[in-house]
A and B are shown apart, each in its own frame.
Chain A
């Protein structure tokens, strides 16, 4: 399978600040990565599909200007939560899909906005 890392694993920030989360595919060059969000005791919800070298595709209801995605290389996608508010507090998880296989998830980033 693919080895996926995320950084940071945990972040606490003040309301109104921006937070950047990195997702790295360590052993596979991924043209596509996915970003999910998981609120406590809830399921994973797909936020957007990150495409290397082009714009991300956002799911309905996800604000593209608030959740900025950059996929500048085949091994790195970043998600920036701009002007974060307490309701953005969540578990953010990225994934990489190997062709013909399944998606492999990163360890997740727990964001707490005060």
Chain B
């Protein structure tokens, strides 16, 4: 089955700086890679996703890059703000309509004021 590795487990950055979280996956058949933000005690919320036919996607301060050959994808957050503090999870799936998500272990992002 799929295995997703995520690094780092904790990331502390100064407000206004950029944050980068990296994930690797094992199953070359995976073709859908979402990123979720989860605040304490709440449900995961999708912040951005990418499919395997695209190398990069951007939405305002958030961007995701995908390298299919190396089987890794990254989340980039620019101009970080205190409200960006949360746990971020990457995930992968076959995207075939009935595939559950395999999640990374999560990154606790701390924005220092």
Which residues of A are in contact with B by a Cβ distance under 8 Å? 1, 32, 34, 36, 42-46, 49, 51, 59-60, 93, 95, 97, 99, 102-108, 110
Q: Which residues of A contact B100 (CB under 8 A)?
A: 34, 36, 46, 49, 59
Q: Which residues of B contact A106 (CB under 8 A)?
A: 43
Bound-state CA distance A36–B43 (Å) is 11
Q: Which residue of B lies closest to A60 (CB)?
A: B1
Q: Which residue of A lies closest to B6 (CB)?
A: A43
Whether A44 pairs with B89 at a CB distance below 8 angstroms is yes
Interface residues of B, CB < 8 Å — how many? 20
Which residues of B are in contact with A by a Cβ distance under 8 Å? 1, 32, 34, 41-46, 49, 89, 97-98, 100-106
CB distance from A94 to the nearest CB of B (A): 10
Picked from A34, A43, A45, A93, the residue with its CB within 8 Å of the CB of B43 is: A93
User: Given A32-B97, A43-B104, is A108 in contact with B43 using a C-beta cutoff of 8 Å?
Assistant: yes
Whether A45 pairs with B103 at a CB distance below 8 angstroms is yes
Picked from B44, B49, B97, the residue with its CB within 8 Å of the CB of A105 is: B44
Q: Which residue of B lies closest to A110 (CB)?
A: B41
